[in-house]
Amino acid sequence: MPSPNPSPHLHRTKLVFFAVIVVILGLASRRYPIFGNYPGDALWATLVATLYAFARPQATLKTIAIATLATAYGVELSQLYQAPWLNQLRSTLPGKLILGSGFDPIDLLAYLVGTLLALPALHSLRSRPPHAT
């Protein structure tokens, strides 16, 4: 007999599919920067939220949002630190995509938007337990 309040968890296959779509959209937004880098930054935060949801399927959406914003803001603030070895890492494509290249306070807003947009998507990807008939 299923428990009356089963914990919802995210279906990882759906999350992988969603993450691939987010990456494709994010790379496209960098290639065709119609609105600057901000859509890509928002999608970066959406991807981070998706990765947290994948790693911790039992986590609440609030926990995922807090972890996502802490990561995004931490990465953005780290761009204020310009050590030669870190700048060399940032000069590579993976380094630039993951760590960024220069601090922009508006990016913090883009990360918030991307996180807030991720939450309904992640909520909809939660597996629903089968209904008893």
What percent of the chain stands above pLDDT 90?
Answer: 69
Confidence of residue 89 (pLDDT cuts 50, 70, 90): very high
Cα–Cα distance between 31 and 54 in angstroms, integer? Answer: 27
On whether the CB atoms of residues 47 and 26 are closer than 8 A, the answer is yes
pLDDT of residue 77: 95
pLDDT of residue 100: 87
pLDDT of residue 65: 98
Provide the mean pLDDT of the chain. 88
Cβ-count burial of 50 within 10 angstroms (0-12 exposed, 13-18 middle, 19+ buried)? Answer: buried
More confident residue, 15 or 1: 15
Helices and strands in the chain: count of H runs, count of E runs: 6, 3
Rounded to the nearest angstrom, the gap between the alpha carbon of residue 115 and the centroid of all alpha carbons in its chain is 7
Task: For residue 68, give the H/E element and its range.
Answer: helix 61-78
Tell me: pLDDT of 3 over 50: no
